[in-house]
Amino acid sequence: MSLLEIRNLSVEFQTVSGSFRAVDGVDLDIKETDLLSIVGESGSGKSVSMLALMGLLPWTANVTADKMEFAGLDLRTISNRARRKIIGKDISMIFQEPMSSLNPCFTVGFQIGESLKQHLGLGGAARKKRSIELLDLVGIPAPAERLKAFPHQLSGGMSQRVMIAMAIACNPKLLIADEPSTALDVTIQAQIIDLLVDLQNEKGMALVLITHDMGVVAETAKQVIVMYAGQQVEQQEVDSLFAKPRHPYTHALLNALPERSLHLDRLPTIEGVVPGAGDRPPGCLFAPRCEFVQDDCSQNIPGLQATELGAFRCFHPIDYTGQG
Amino acid sequence: MFAFILNRIALLVPIFFGVTLVSFGFIRMLPGDPVVALAGERDMTPERHAEMMAKLGLDKPAWQQYLDYVWNLLHGDFGTSVLTNRPILDEFMELFPATIELGVTAMMLAVVIGVPIGIFAAVKRGTFYDQGIMGLSLVGYSMPIFWWGLLLIILFSGIWGLTPISGRISFLYDVPTVTGFLLIDTLLSGEEGAFASAMHHMILPTIVLGTIPLAIIARQTRSAMLEVLSEDYVRTARAKGLSPLRVYGLHALRNAMITVITVIGLQVGTLMAGAILTETIFSWPGIGKWIIFSVFSRDYYAVQGGLVLIAMIIMAVNLIVDVLYGLINPRILHTSS
Amino acid sequence: MSNNAVDSIPAGNRRTSALRQSLIEFWYYFSESKTAVIGLAFLVGIILMALTADVIAPHDPAVQYRECLEQPPTWGAEKCNFAFGTDYAGRDMLSRIIYGTRLSLVAGGMVVILCLSIGIVFGVVAGYFRGWVDIAIMRIMDTILSVPGLLMALVLVAILGPGLLNAMIAISITYLPHFVRLTRSSYITESTKEYVIASKVAGAGKFRIMFITILPNCMAPLIVQATLSFSTAILDTAALGFLGMGAQPPAPEWGTLIAENRDLMLSAPWTVTFPGLAILLAVLAINLMGDGLRDALDPKMKRS
């Protein structure tokens, strides 16, 4: 049985100039110890879909889904009170900007202890003991002293470790990491990703890693979802995705990796930008930027086609049969 | 933190000299002969004039007069009232508790109502409640409070007969002065009904004096909260599964308070200006009424002394607010060494 | 057809059409707020009332109808027909309030003009020269700010003598620091930008840089401050008038009207109620407009 099962999730924002569809028909299946990666450009709806799952979107967002179940609970109809019992405990999330994600007015110890008190009802001494364990677990030196530190006294990498400690405080079944390393120094990025993967193995939890860094995906994930303009365009296991991307967008993304274009003089790019609220094309959303575009692409909307390895959303996927 | 406080005190020094220079200049810039203006006597003989001039120190060079003046101020000598012949400081201290009492209750009213409705408006942003609260607070902010006071007297005292028109307490009670704060003194005296009478007299003046600070605090709390609510750490707090009360009332409010405390501190000046009008309307025997009376009776030493004392009190309050700001803001309190 | 309107602007008027474009854009943002438009409409109404006071006021504000002392408001009565009643001397309250708009608007306008002109010069000078000139100007402004505005105004009026003109001067002095600070800080922000350096390189003189290159880019916050000061100046003029330190009777200044009828407030409440309502509505209208202006001019606030 899946831990998390989502069918046809859509999110629309009401704006002054009409409604804008940020997430469009996303399906997701996550099992107990999965490591799933969601990749895509900025504005492709990766974060929004996960925030929708957490119930953290502003009231201007309209979330619809055919199915959205976590551990047998229907998240569409759940009351706010019941949802607050799950989020922060069974599902937790860490964010892109660790420095601003911690409250500047409270100590590290207070902010970790708060989760422990809220969900596990631990007393003062137990909270302190557990907080020190957690900080130790995420690799923070001198954890007992660090409890009294305020966020402005920590570096970005340290702050993200504290965020991770807070997120795993109640042994979640699912941890969502929203671009956890993007805002950090390059040297720290790998440490944070390694830490997350280690913790996942150790704790046996599911991990959703949102990123726009294909390198991170290649090193960590098992399953990969590629998103474009709010839609899922491809889903595969990581090895086959890198070897044989079916969707032209995935193909173009991979070609844009510097490691893959060492033989070229110029790094390939994808011309154009992700369509915004006002300029969504009528057919396939990627058609205007696609190098394999054909006439029918801009007339009909392609559906998600399942294959034995995953799924893709394209009329004319890249065909590898001739290559053997 | 210590350096922060020292820095704030250092900033006050030039302002202190500026204020003393203004109050010193005030007496010299009065129209007509300063000796006549200050002595409050008419038809002086030339001898009397020369005698007064020497007594007032007006025969010395201006810079020396100023130094003498500041020297005296630093030794607690704020001059002597021409009208009562008593030291200005004594008169001021006698009347000041009445103004503090009114100012504190007005401020409490403004904070106790203003902060929660500001938070409420921010959380319910864009709704009917938000627009209603902001509309009302704009009316409060635009209110001519001297008229507001008279209007309340017409309604509550004149038409409905619910509240007294003026004064601090009914003339039936004779409460011995201990602290000068009537609410405390009436309790200490144990006289039956005295406390209730004092409270009764405070209702309208408190509302009138509190209206503008209330409106300002509500507006500023709302905008501070709106700014904080869009911060990442508020999302983190919600992602922890905390209740809205804890997210807004603790995580957001604690940060918004850093701004709100400053706004509240700045209202002390508004309160003093408001006290001049409110005390005049309600015949409240405090500093505001005294200043107006001194201006009209040409007791210029009293006006001068009052000006300096009020400026110093406001400076002191601002210093306290700055320190509070440092205490509530961990980025200043815990500067990493 | 309407599309041709833009095309039909002659090429020589490009400059004015750019100004027109920005005005149209400003109006688009300003008119998004209904309350701001209501405030503006009300203010226009008040200004028209002040301009046409001679025509629309039903009576001469100074004439005392001895047979109609303290007459309550009546509509269409045969004898003593006064819509807002009469005061202690039998003068028509409505006419006095209509004429009073002139005094309040002139007072508010004068204060704003004085503050803008002097404040901008001081602020630009402080921002341009920096160093001790800056320090001296800013410490003087700090000193003025350290005393509550109304108290400072009272002291100044005590020196200058009571009267509407002196009240205006006194109020202007107490508001000056806000304008100086605002001008100085936005001047300093602007002065580090590239276009200023470009202008210096091109050989522009001191005054050209100060007042023609940089100043226009500092105007938006100053306009907002001017609007808000306009309303508070009306309030403070009325407060000084009420305390007997502003306009002197028989001038029908709104605060003075309240003061001279204060003894009648319980027996003839209309004599106090209507002038105060006039102050409240005028100030409220200007503040509503000021809020709209701030949202329309300040790009940082626009999004919220």
Average pLDDT over residues A189-211: 91
Tell me, what's the pLDDT at A112? 94
Average pLDDT over residues C23-39: 84
Segments of chain B scoring below 50 in pLDDT? 336-337
| Percentage of residues of chain B with pLDDT beyond 90 | 49
Q: Across C206-215, C218-227, C236-245, C294-303, which has the greatest mean pLDDT?
A: C236-245
Chain A touched by B147 (CB under 8 Å) = no
Amino acid at A146: R
pLDDT digits (tens, 9 = 90+) for A163-187: 999 999 999 999 999 998 888 888 8
**Cβ neighbours of residue A86 closer than 8 Å, sequence gap 6 or more:** A70, A73, A78, B241
Q: Are residues C71 and C4 in the same domain?
A: no
Tell me, what's the pLDDT at C258? 93
Tell me, what's the pLDDT at B191? 82
Tell me, what's the pLDDT at C138? 92
Contact B144 C279 (CB under 8 A): yes
Q: Alpha carbon of A94 to those of A57, A274, B28, B163, C61: distances in Å?
A: 15, 25, 67, 58, 72
Q: Chain B partners of A118 at a C-beta cutoff of 8 Å?
A: 240-242
Tokens of B191: 């006289």
- CA-based nearest distance C108→chain B, Å: 14
> Is ipTM beyond 0.90?
no
**Residue-number span of the structural domain to which C13 is assigned:** 1-25
Helix, strand, coil percent content, chain C, rounded in steps of 5: 75, 0, 25
Q: Chain A partners of B124 at a C-beta cutoff of 8 Å?
A: none
Of A113 and A296, the structure prediction assigns the larger pLDDT to A113
Average pLDDT over residues A21-37: 88
Q: Chain B partners of C142 at a C-beta cutoff of 8 Å?
A: 14-15, 18
Q: Are residues C119 and C229 in the same domain?
A: yes
- CA-based nearest distance B19→chain C, Å: 6
Q: Are residues C89 and C222 in the same domain?
A: yes
Tell me, what's the pLDDT at A264? 78
Q: Are the CB atoms for C38 and C57 separated by under 8 Å?
A: no
Give chain A as a 3 state SS string: CCCEEEEEEEEEEEECCEEEEEEEEEEEEECCCCEEEEECCCCCCHHHHHHHHHCCCCCCEEEECCEEEECCEECCCCCHHHHHHHECCCEEEECCCHHHHCCCCCCHHHHHHHHHHHHHCCCHHHHHHHHHHHHHHCCCCCHHHHCCCCHHHCCHHHHHHHHHHHHCCCCCCEEEEECCCCCCCHHHHHHHHHHHHHHHHHHCCEEEEEECCHHHHHHHCCEEEEEECCEEEEEEEHHHHHHCCCCHHHHHHHHCCHHHHCCCCCCCCCCCCCCCCCCCCCCCCCHHHCCCCCHHHHCCCCCCEECCCCEECCCCCCCCHHHC
Among the residue ranges C20-29, C49-58, C151-160, the one predicted with the least confidence is: C20-29
- CA-based nearest distance B1→chain C, Å: 24
Contact A102 B236 (CB under 8 A): yes
In chain B, where does the domain assigned CATH 1.10.3720.10 lie? 88-292
Tell me, what's the pLDDT at C6? 43
Q: How far apart are CA B85 and CA A116, in angstroms?
A: 69
Q: How far apart are CA B135 and CA A107, in angstroms?
A: 38
Tell me, what's the pLDDT at C9? 44
Contact C155 B19 (CB under 8 A): no
pLDDT digits (tens, 9 = 90+) for C179-204: 999 999 988 988 888 888 888 888 88
> In which band, very low, low, confident or very high, does the pLDDT at A1 lie, cut at 50, 70 and 90?
low
Q: Are residues C123 and C182 in the same domain?
A: yes
Tell me, what's the pLDDT at C102? 94
Contact B233 A97 (CB under 8 A): no
> In which band, very low, low, confident or very high, does the pLDDT at A150 lie, cut at 50, 70 and 90?
very high
pLDDT digits (tens, 9 = 90+) for C76-135: 666 777 888 888 888 989 999 999 999 999 999 999 999 999 999 999 999 988 889 999
Of C25 and B289, the structure prediction assigns the larger pLDDT to B289
Contact B142 C142 (CB under 8 A): no
Task: Reply yes or no on whether the pLDDT at C276 is more than 90.
Answer: yes
Q: For chain C, what is the domain count?
A: 2
List the subunits that have 3+ CB pairs under 8 angstroms with B: A, C
Contact B232 A152 (CB under 8 A): no
Tell me, what's the pLDDT at B228? 93
Q: Which CATH number fits domain B88-292: 1.10.3720.10, 1.10.1200.10, 1.10.3300.10, 3.40.640.10?
A: 1.10.3720.10
Tell me, what's the pLDDT at B335? 66
pTM given for the model: 0.86
Chain B touched by A124 (CB under 8 Å) = no
Tell me, what's the pLDDT at C289? 92
Task: Reply yes or no on whether the pLDDT at A297 is more than 90.
Answer: no
Mean pLDDT, all residues of chain C: 86
Q: Are residues C166 and C18 in the same domain?
A: no
Chain B touched by C46 (CB under 8 Å) = no
* Nearest CB partner across the interface for C159, out of B29, B150, B273: B29
Tell me, what's the pLDDT at C302? 41
Tell me the count of A-B CB pairs closer than 8 A: 72
Q: Are residues C18 and C62 in the same domain?
A: no
Tell me, what's the pLDDT at B337? 40
pLDDT digits (tens, 9 = 90+) for B159-171: 898 888 888 888 8
Q: How far apart are CA A299 and CA A32, in angstroms?
A: 40
